Amino acid sequence: MYFEGSEKKLTLTINHHNISLLNDFDDNFWQQLVERCQAKILSKITNQQCTAYLLSESSLFIWDDHFVLITCGRTNLVSAINFFIKAVKPSDINQLIFQRKNEYFSYAQPSNFFEDIKQLQQNFNGCAARFGALDSHHNYLYHLTKTSNQNLVNSSYEFLAYQISPETSEFLCQPNLTVDQIREFLQLSTILQGFQVDDFLFSPFGYSLNAINGEKYLTIHITPQQNSSYVSVESNLNLLSITPHFLSLLQPASFDLIAFNQAEFSELNNHYIPKNYLIKEQVESTLCSNELVNFANYIQPMATKIAPYTIDI
Amino acid sequence: MYFEGSEKKLTLTINHHNISLLNDFDDNFWQQLVERCQAKILSKITNQQCTAYLLSESSLFIWDDHFVLITCGRTNLVSAINFFIKAVKPSDINQLIFQRKNEYFSYAQPSNFFEDIKQLQQNFNGCAARFGALDSHHNYLYHLTKTSNQNLVNSSYEFLAYQISPETSEFLCQPNLTVDQIREFLQLSTILQGFQVDDFLFSPFGYSLNAINGEKYLTIHITPQQNSSYVSVESNLNLLSITPHFLSLLQPASFDLIAFNQAEFSELNNHYIPKNYLIKEQVESTLCSNELVNFANYIQPMATKIAPYTIDI
């Protein structure tokens, strides 16, 4: 019936003078790490700078000095961190950012954010904050209380879209849909030129895509069902400039943008976001690791009355 | 730390040719009914037409032919319905409307709405709908699939306010606050002239009020803590015209209005709601019991960036 598309996300940076994530760990290690979350590796693409695994619940991207693990559904991401620190001691971890989006079926989750960070504090010294109001879209974030200059030039972005248009939802939920039809619908050739692409169509619904090009990555995860639709796009490409592309395709009623280390966040949004969307909330913080985090929630006010959503009993 | 202010609500109408709720059931019966939800009766006010119990988790109002039970926190309202139908057989129930607001700590609840309605269907024949988008404020509603003309002239209203102003939150959270100070702050004398009032200040925070005057009632429940603040006002007075009073006192960032059997819902809101609030979503439905239900969510877009909310670990 419903699928919890809301993601948990880990960005973990190591001291790469001592360790190489790409060379020192094999597929088997990452498979075990992913299994700890209650997910599985479905496929892999790789280049000299980055390896990308497509998962049964989202994605894992690995570079030499850091990795990004994204999981949705009923996963327990903290278990993967506990597995990782059996191989790499906490002192070799330069930074760890653990995010958790607010969920809509949190009663079905194996843990909540407060339990997660309590577990993390057994091995780390960190602090936590909530970006966004409790009664609105929000993102919980935990990070280590230590300064690292290593990552400051690395920007990354999240575009999280809710309530896509009924037509798009219907198109993406049709039986016998193919991966090629979705790629064509997303017009990926225009934004992913030169990228190696790996994607998967879930049954009965759902689509995931990983794309890499050198150290650049982009990942898309689609929960298309009308009345609980959710599309996330995450990348180290400047997503703010690509957001209009996804807005025109998906026409969501609401979306969030999150950026790490993008000093021009507001200016770029003012420039790129169509004026039919209003900013409902914006939150900014510089973490004690010096990373700049921006969060903005946009909405499209509803002009007309609608009928309620009928629930099957 | 956090308190789940979001309410569950039951409006149950009986065939009063056979039964009188005010005469046939005593305090002990209602005490037992309320205990089934994991709540307690704190105090009582009564007049010829209505009895109002203030509860450890919200309120219970009883008229001769119907009652309204509102519970918040970690209560299980369906257990009260199961208790009630041991005394009054389902065929003597003319209508039952069970509502459940979306929760922010649903993992801490003893049940979810889908489990609740599955339980209800064991004794009743009903249908269910969601008013409001999944990723926004929403209200689940279950009702019996039978037509009743009895209640059509009875209008009732809910005003649900989120993120009250920091000053109001601070005022309502101060130590040694008194009930009189809160009554004065709420300027109740202007809107509750002639009403009998019963209220309670919880420790360390939280305030509940019941007021009755003949068959008219109004109830207020305040969860004042900043970053999870929530104020609900429910009444069979026309709350739409009183909403500006509460908006100017509380200055919430967002609020919902729900009305039963108010054909002029949109027109009244257009007239009464200050223009600094925008309608984000509006949902309307006529239930198969012929009751008209309207839901509207208003927001005040945030003009400036704010800092995230720090979470204590």
Q: Do B128 and A266 count as a contact with CB atoms less than 8 A apart?
A: no
- Which residue is associated with the tokens 């099957």? A312
For the stretch A141-173, pLDDT in tens is: 999 998 765 555 689 999 999 999 999 999 999
Q: Do B284 and A305 count as a contact with CB atoms less than 8 A apart?
A: yes
Sign of the CA dihedral running A133, A139, A144, A150: negative
Q: Which residue has the higher pLDDT, B148 or B136?
A: B136
For the stretch A76-80, contacts whose Cβ atoms lie closer than 8 Å and that sit 24 or more positions apart, written own/partner, are: A76/A36, A76/A37, A76/A38, A76/A110, A76/A111, A77/A8, A77/A9, A77/A10, A77/A37, A77/A116, A78/A111, A78/A116, A78/A119, A78/A120, A79/A36, A79/A37, A80/A10, A80/A33, A80/A34, A80/A36, A80/A37
pLDDT given for residue A187 in this prediction: 94
Q: Do A282 and B131 count as a contact with CB atoms less than 8 A apart?
A: no
Interface test with A, best of B125, B277, B309 (most A CBs within 10 A): B309
Interface test with A, best of B3, B99, B135 (most A CBs within 10 A): B135
Q: How many pairs of residues across A and B have Cβ atoms under 8 Å apart?
A: 138
Residue B148 identity: S
For the stretch A102-141, pLDDT in tens is: 999 999 999 999 999 999 999 999 999 999 999 999 999 9
* Token pair of B114 as six digits: 């889908």
Q: Which residue has the higher pLDDT, A228 or B60?
A: B60
Residue B308 with chain A: CB contacts under 8 Å = 129-131, 141, 283, 285, 293, 295
Question: Is the full-model pTM beyond 0.90?
Answer: yes
The predicted model gives B218-247 an average pLDDT of: 96
Q: Nearest residue of A to residue B312 by CA position?
A: A128
The predicted model gives A24-29 an average pLDDT of: 97
* Pairwise CA distance, residues B81 & B122, whole Å: 12
Residue A253 with chain B: CB contacts under 8 Å = 133
Q: Which domains does chain A have, with CATH numbers?
A: 8-299 (3.60.90.10)
* Interface predicted TM-score (ipTM) of this complex, two decimals: 0.92
pLDDT given for residue A17 in this prediction: 85
> Nearest-CA distance from A168 to chain B in Å?
17
Question: Strand B196-201 relative to strand B58-62: parallel, antiparallel, unpaired?
Answer: unpaired
Half-sphere exposure of B281 (CA within 13 A, CB side): 24
Contact B126, B47 (CB under 8 A): no
Q: Nearest residue of A to residue B278 by CA position?
A: A301
> Nearest-CA distance from A289 to chain B in Å?
16
Residue A147 identity: T
For the stretch B245-260, pLDDT in tens is: 999 999 999 999 999 9
On the question of a cis peptide bond just before residue A204, with omega within 30 degrees of 0, the verdict is: yes
How many of the other CB atoms lie within 10 Å of CB of A48?
9
Q: Nearest residue of B to residue A265 by CA position?
A: B305
Local confidence band at B95 (pLDDT 50, 70, 90 cut-offs): very high
CA A38 to mean position of chain CA atoms: 17
* Pairwise CA distance, residues B101 & B122, whole Å: 22
Residue A98 identity: F
Question: Any idea which of A252-256, A294-298, B134-138, B287-291 has the lowest mean pLDDT?
Answer: B287-291
Say whether pLDDT at B9 is over 90.
yes
* Pairwise CA distance, residues A151 & B114, whole Å: 45
